[in-house]
Structure 1
């Protein structure tokens, strides 16, 4: 007997069958020694965290839990939000392994992508459940595909905010040093003039960019100091186009004039800022523009060149430390981002240790790496251990509020309510 199509579509109900009962989301009670919630500058002993599905549903001492809840004990550990890497380059690897020029010019895209997959996994294992990746440095839009692969569960890694190609003024970036007139692959997308800046911003957003990165200054020629690249008008147009599309803007700039232009343009974060002055940092604070000081980048490069960490301190390291102190004194919001890729992925917490060594308290560093970065990047669903937020959580050995280097000893990770195998 042939059944009508309509009867086939609704056969279970027509024959008296019932719709399946919805499956209740899995509930897990986490019982660490203490909880650092990403907001209060203390660790709360005896607190527990209830996770239901992909969200945190309750936080505090002696929680009431539903029947059937799984309990995970984390004795001796401090539970805290998954950390947020504020300035990474998953498509780069340490410069003492391969120079930046050779990575951009000679490494096949498939090789760079395979390495980025491994480096994303290393970052997650280090306790970083979100990463703002600020440019593929010649690898095109490969970060968009990596973000999709991670989101789909194909490969492990942090939740990614990607900047795709980044944007530089024509003639200002690299690689350089070739016959004039030859078209050389660049580490970022070139643009010139207001109209072209807006076009490139929109094309990168259309390709999948979550954040727009501008190079506000750079070295126009080999051996030259950094100088401003984009005009205020160009930067303002780019920022407005990005903000209109709901994207944030990060500006690489280390000169006072480049920083002044980024501030005038309304950037959301300034990367590096090594040449900042008290006046510049006061202007950043007034507009709530965050600084990613990238102390670990200058430290790593100096060590590649033979510095062993003692006195005399290399000029670049001293300058980065001094600007960091000026920014903090001015009340600038501090982003935790180390420019990882210059040094090894998985060692992201190196920046946090250097921030503490440069005068920040351990609690301030931890807040910068969690709720501070979430605020700077407009991520309202993460960065704290609070009911309703994503269950991106890590446990570290000991008390990171007492000694921030505890974050280098991650014992347990949960992302999106699921335990990550280390």
Structure 2
């Protein structure tokens, strides 16, 4: 349902990035932005005539931002079959369904890090036009890899040599990419590689990073081994995906150089998801075997203060351990030692900062988009309170309302 009049969320508790503040009101303008946030009495005094929605003390947070998403996920097995056997129209519809489910799960913004046949750009356009329900999209277009490198069979764009990678990078920017994703090592999903297989030379990595930075785009890298990551950091890399084998030396370097980390810790401990999608046994075994070292990498990054953002790699909405992959990822991050408040910021304000979108999303503040989720329990006390989500808004429009609260009434 679209918001046509100003509305005010009343009697709510707002997460302001540092604490849960009680007795708040959130005034949402008809254009989908937040007009005011403050004590409920003050907000209602200013917003006379607006429709109000009584949240009975429930908790209002910014919509979640998932920084490692493939809406057309093509892991070996059933998922790859559904993606690669589809024509372009079928692929866009498959991705649109995943986008709708993602939004309903409370993820109002995604960073796509490798899609197929440039379908992500068509989907982004349709979502922005209001033709399709889905989160805000920031996308890398095709991921880049060497010939036969990680992701080649999942539609990563193959290139070789510095000139080849410059051209591939420019092709993504030409298509409208917001960032660049490059695969610099092997990974879990490549049958004929190892996680610690280095796959790009320094000249190739430098070519990608140089072109992207010239065009004011950041570069994130699928990466496993510390040595490949160290080399990329020295060349100016902006972000690391997975980081299965991070050493303390490299996490200290990441913190020093302000290189971000998106751990996707769920991917090395999601046996049930793999089995449900009939992923090959070799991949399940490799993922689970990587789990202990992956966990150690996450703990190294937390200890050394590496800037971090939430990313699931699994579909954000995928059922997992009684919740979604997105929420379970945050729970794992807290279990690994990240303070709860830091984890909440890693799913809201911090990724907005990396995306350069902190003026629009990532906080419940006046002037920002009304991308909001509502919970029954306090997430600052227990990150698992995110399991109590029951209302989702994006740009002031309601996309999920389990309790029918937004029927509202005029004041």
Does 2:256 correspond to 1:275?
no
Cα shift at 1:400: 1.1
Structure 1 residue 318 corresponds to structure 2 residue 292? yes
The residue correspondences of 1:197-346 to structure 2 (distance < 5 A) are 197-218=165-186, 222=192, 224-301=194-271, 304=274, 314-341=288-315, 344=318
Provide the rounded CA distance (Å) in 1 between the counterparts of 2:385 and 2:127: 27
Contact 1:94 1:344 in 2 (8 A): no
User: Within 2, Cα distance between the matches of 1:224 and 1:385?
Assistant: 43
* Gap change, CA 1:264 and 1:245, over 3 Å in 2: same
Mark the runs of 5 or more structure 2 residues left unpaired by the alignment.
282-286, 402-411
After TM superposition, give the deviation of residue 348 of structure 1 in Å. Answer: 2.2
Q: Output the CA distance in 1 between the equivalents of 2:235 and 2:253.
A: 12
1:92 equivalent among 67, 70, 73: 73
Give the corresponding residue for 1:383. 362
Q: Kindly state the Cα deviation for residue 221 of structure 1 after the two structures are TM-superposed.
A: 7.2
Rounded to whole Å, the distance in 2 between the matches of 1:133 and 1:174 is 14
For 2:296 and 2:15, the matched residues in 1 are separated by 29
Residues 1:174 and 1:315: Cα distance change in structure 2 (over 3 Å): closer
1:16 is matched with which residue? none
Cα deviation, 1:158-207, whole Å, max 9, x if unaligned, reads: 000111111001232356xxxxxxxxx65200111222211111111111
SS of aligned partner of 1:228: coil
1:350 and 2:328 correspond: yes
1:75 alignment partner in structure 2: 56
Q: Distance in 1 between matches of 2:66 and 2:316?
A: 14
Is residue 92–residue 342 contact of structure 1 (8 Å, CA) maintained in 2?
no
- Unpaired runs of at least 5, structure 1: 1-24, 176-184, 308-312
**Corresponding residue for residue 135 of structure 1:** 114
Q: TM-score, normalised by structure 1?
A: 0.83
How far has the Cα of 1:392 moved from its partner? Answer: 0.9
User: Is 1:158–2:135 an aligned residue pair?
Assistant: yes
Whether 2:24 is the aligned partner of 1:47: answer: yes
Higher fraction of helix: 2
Residue 149 (1) aligns with residue 119 (2)? no
> What whole-Å deviation, never above 9, does each CA across 1:95-126 have from its counterpart, x for those lacking one?
6x6154x3554344433322211111111011
Q: Which moved more, 1:388-397 or 1:211-220?
A: 211-220
> 15, 19, 38: which is aligned to 1:60?
38
Checking the alignment, whether the CA contact within 8 Å between 1:29 and 1:65 is kept in structure 2 is: no
- The answer as to whether partners of 1:290 and 1:335 remain within 8 angstroms in 2 is yes
Task: Report the secondary structure of 1:217's partner residue.
Answer: coil
Question: What TM-score do you get using the length of structure 2 for normalisation?
Answer: 0.85
Deviation at 1:366, TM superposition (A): 0.8
Q: Is the 8 A contact 2:32 2:397 kept in 1?
A: yes
**TM-aligned CA deviation for residue 341 of structure 1:** 3.3
Q: 1:186 to 1:157 in 2, by over 3 A?
A: closer
